[in-house]
Structure 1
């Protein structure tokens, strides 16, 4: 029997059932027909945050950031590069703490940038401070993500 994973569409936020061995192949959403793995980091809102972190079997790495934060701006291209390396294994997303203060308060974000790794609605790990692409990848590996 094929192992099925739940993956939330980055466009319409519907949950898709995808065979685990097909996750990295891409594919399109069954509802809106858009790609399940777009070529960029997903921008979350207060509403889409819960859908993506709570209903996905695939790990979701969320970068909590703000537009005025220098280290956040410096880390953004590194985060983007790491997302390409981990495509099909980890969903990379960003949440602007000023535009969506709810999740930031819920998870006690005290400094930015802060990355939190979620899986199946649970926080798996967190890391504060700017990191480069190699450090992000090393950190994910240290959390057991493969």
Structure 2
């Protein structure tokens, strides 16, 4: 694989370029040293999410949620399991709709939890409601172009 990937660091916001074949090695940010594809769910604000959507070479699955939402809290462990399952192939993030109302308006979020999958800079699919990890992972596999 001769192509490079760009990944936005969820800790410092810097866009990193790395060889696509090095994802298994656990790449780190060249600026702050944070892991770039660690299989964890990262809390993002609207600005950082927009940057990742525009620049990242891996698909990004975003969970729009709120702390007062029971189904959102119930799905959180399942979302984390799906993130671990797809580590190195997809990045997972959460956006708190209460703290980021601009994201809610921009993406026309009518109910939560709402999962939106972004790939190559655009929205490719949505999934509403709380789901188990296996359904979340299957949703991503069905709609994203995943690296081999």
TM-score, L = length of structure 2: 0.92
Report runs of 4+ in structure 1 exceeding 3 Å deviation.
Answer: none
Residue aligning to 2:112: 112
The SS at the match of 2:72 is helix
- Once structures 1 and 2 are overlaid, which stretch shifts more, 25-34 or 101-110? 25-34
Residue aligning to 2:30: 30
Aligned partners of 1:24, 1:79: CA distance in 2, in Å? 21
Give the CA RMSD over aligned residues: 1.4
Q: Specify every segment of 5 or more residues in structure 2 that has no aligned partner in the other structure, as ranges.
A: none
Aligned partners of 1:121, 1:6: CA distance in 2, in Å? 12
TM-score, L = length of structure 1: 0.93
Q: Specify every segment of 5 or more residues in structure 1 that has no aligned partner in the other structure, as ranges.
A: none
The 1:136/1:39 distance shift into structure 2, 3 A limit, reads closer
Residue aligning to 1:19: 19
Aligned partners of 1:112, 1:133: CA distance in 2, in Å? 17
Listed one character per residue, the Cα deviations across residues 23-59 of structure 1 (whole Å, up to 9, x for unaligned) are 2321211121222124521100122111112211110
